[in-house]
Amino acid sequence: MPSLKDLKNRIESVKSTRKITKAMQMVAAAKLRRAQEAAEESRPYAERFNAVMAGLAASVGDSDSAPKLLSGTGSDQVHLLVVMTAERGLCGGFNSNIAKLARTHADQLKAQGKTVKILTVGKKGRDAIKRDYADTFVGHVDLSEFKNVSYANAQDIAKGILARFDAAEFDVATIFYAKFVNVVSQIPTAQQIIPAAFEEVEGSEASTLYDYEPGEEEILADLLPKGVATAIFSALLENGASEQGARMSAMDNATRNAGEMIDKLTIEFNRSRQAVITNELIEIISGAEAL
């Protein structure tokens, strides 16, 4: 049975932990508001950009003049998985859920006889995957030195991916990230970015209401690389909001658990102290009766 001093030390230790988790929860809440606004503000542009690109891609079709980023290499043997996670932990299952989705995707591809290559963005994704897929790693992007993720970071990542594609290092590229829904819900998402895959637009305003100059092929050749950077930037913003939301939720749960542990330890401490006092009284009474 722990002594009174041990119980008191444990209570003080848990109280210190509760102060830390409460402070982290408040910091995450402050950062979440800005990150959520950035993610939500980027969605209309990304959606409209994809709608226009979908119309252009539909008008080009599978013609021989279609850009390589749209038509692909003609093969899907080599897949590049870009796993985007956070640089820090203490955010619940945010990082592990993204890594789990990427591992599942990689296992399915390997079962089909495909070659898998992995590029990680964020230290936690690298740490979670390298144990099983260290031989498939082709690179890592460290964002820890940047206070805020910017479009320039997305452009740098996109340039690296496009350079690998131009060097025929892979046929298909897919990014993995968490789409922010709310504080308690972040959805792990896989999105193919090379070759570009667009959802069909009903009515196809992009192709029926506008005439493009120069032709669709030239416009696509210029916009598709920007589309890759836009998709990566949107994923980074969604990840930023998801990370802070997951951290806020995790720290709130940790603070509550610490409070419950303090209550239990306090009850145990009081019972132990009462038992000590009772034993001392019994000894005093027994000694007095013996006299």
Task: Please tell me the least confidently modeled range out of 68-77, 99-108, 151-160.
Answer: 68-77
Provide the pLDDT for residue 13. Answer: 93
Catalytic residues: 91
Provide the pLDDT for residue 6. Answer: 87
CB atoms within 10 A of CB 113: 7
Whether the per-residue pLDDT at 207 is higher than 60: the answer is no
Provide the pLDDT for residue 16. Answer: 93
Per-residue tokens: 11: 């209570």
Provide the pLDDT for residue 57. Answer: 75
Provide the pLDDT for residue 206. Answer: 42
Q: Which domains does the chain have, with CATH numbers?
A: 4-20+252-290 (1.10.287.80), 34-249 (3.40.1380.10)
Using one digit for the tens of pLDDT, what is the confidence trace for 49-70? 888 887 777 777 666 667 788 8
Provide the pLDDT for residue 205. Answer: 47
pLDDT grade for 108, boundaries at 50, 70 and 90: very high
pLDDT grade for 213, boundaries at 50, 70 and 90: low
Using one digit for the tens of pLDDT, what is the confidence trace for 120-131? 998 988 888 888
The most confident of 42-51, 119-128, 209-218, 251-260, by mean pLDDT: 251-260
Q: Where are the alpha helices (DSSP H) in 86-203?
A: 94-111, 123-133, 151-166
The residue type found at 190 is A
3-state secondary structure of 182: strand
Provide the pLDDT for residue 291. Answer: 64
Q: Please, are residues 160 and 123 in contact by the beta-carbon 8 Å criterion? A: no
The residue type found at 45 is Y
Q: 219 or 84: which carries more pLDDT confidence? A: 84
Q: Please state whether the predicted TM-score (pTM) of the whole model is above 0.85.
A: no
Distance CA 247, CA 20 (A): 13
Q: What is the mean pLDDT of the chain?
A: 85
Q: What percent of the chain has pLDDT over 90?
A: 43
Whether the per-residue pLDDT at 147 is higher than 80: the answer is no
The most confident of 141-155, 192-206, 227-241, by mean pLDDT: 227-241
Nearest one of 118, 41, 28, 112 to 81, comparing CA atoms:
118
Whether the per-residue pLDDT at 212 is higher than 80: the answer is no
pLDDT grade for 187, boundaries at 50, 70 and 90: very high
Distance CA 267, CA 273 (A): 10
Provide the pLDDT for residue 204. Answer: 44
Provide the pLDDT for residue 259. Answer: 93
Distance CA 191, CA 235 (A): 9
Nearest one of 174, 198, 157, 191 to 80, comparing CA atoms:
174
